[in-house]
Chains A and B, each alone.
Chain A
Amino acid sequence: SQTIHQWPATLVQPVGSPLSLECTVEGTSNPNLYWYRQAAGRGLQLLFYSVGIGQISSEVPQNLSASRPQDRQFILGSKKLLLSDSGFYLCAWSPISYGLQFFGPGTRLTVL
């Protein structure tokens, strides 16, 4: 069966510090991968989407970046965090671009 992992589960970082969140999927190959952010009181917002290694689509201009160095690994990063980057970050995968999406447990990021 397929599983999706995210770490860390929680993170507190100072403004201006770098960020690296990791997501890995097991039990499938060539998944479509997604990074979402859920800010307090707001709906889920798609940040990045990837159909394959090195292929990243950015949905929202921001100081975040994403990379997919391996087929089942998706990394979300930032060189300098802003207060507004605080939120709940979710990674998801789907077997096809228009299929059901399966979500990871999420990372709760607080930027102070």
Chain B
Amino acid sequence: KNEVEQSPQNLTAQEGEFITINCSYSVGISALHWLQQHPGGGIVSLFMLSSGKKKHGRLIATINIQEKHSSLHITASHPRDSAVYICAVRRVGGGSNYKLTFGKGTLLTVNP
């Protein structure tokens, strides 16, 4: 079993819909990252969070440390939100506080 699991693997939505992408992890972490990979391959860091909730524009990321679960929400989705969304965790201990463990990503397609 992977240490970081994302669901769904693929998601298709209509423009304007509310989107939720989930990330579950099985290890102790100090932080969780959400990344966006555009069709051309470029990656943008969206959020880094260790507790609670963060919001940036139409994007909201939440994390529940006790349940080892995070969600990325997109409100009023738009075709330009189409991308692969990747969850990554920073494990505690082991002397590797720089290392991220990545999920396989969720491919989001928003149709007009």
Query: A residues within 8 Å of B by Cβ?
Result: 32, 34, 38, 42-46, 49, 51, 59, 88, 90, 92, 94, 97-103, 105-106, 108
Verify A98–B104 contact, CB threshold 8 A.
no
Among B41, B90, B98, point to the contact of A32 (Cβ < 8 A). Answer: B98
Smallest distance from the beta carbon of A95 to chain B beta carbons, Å?
12
Verify B41–A98 contact, CB threshold 8 A.
no
Interface residues of B in 57-112 (CB under 8 A from A): 86, 88, 90, 97-100, 102-105
Among A42, A51, A103, A105, point to the contact of B45 (Cβ < 8 A). Answer: A103
25 examples of A-B residue contacts, CB within 8 angstroms: A32-B98, A34-B98, A38-B41, A43-B86, A44-B100, A44-B102, A45-B102, A46-B99, A49-B98, A59-B99, A88-B41, A92-B43, A98-B30, A98-B31, A98-B90, A99-B48, A100-B33, A100-B45, A101-B100, A102-B45, A103-B35, A103-B43, A103-B44, A103-B45, A106-B43
Verify A97–B97 contact, CB threshold 8 A.
yes
Docked Cα-Cα span, A84 to B97, in Å, equals 28
Docked Cα-Cα span, A98 to B86, in Å, equals 18
Verify B99–A44 contact, CB threshold 8 A.
no
Having A46-B100, A94-B98, A97-B98, one finds 18 other A-B pairs with CB under 8 Å, namely A42-B104, A43-B86, A43-B102, A43-B105, A44-B100, A45-B102, A46-B99, A51-B98, A90-B41, A92-B43, A98-B97, A98-B98, A99-B48, A100-B48, A103-B35, A103-B45, A105-B42, A108-B41
- Interface residues of B: mostly helix, strand, loop or mixed? strand
Among B43, B88, B90, point to the contact of A90 (Cβ < 8 A). Answer: B43
Docked Cα-Cα span, A51 to B104, in Å, equals 27
- Interface residues of A: mostly helix, strand, loop or mixed? strand
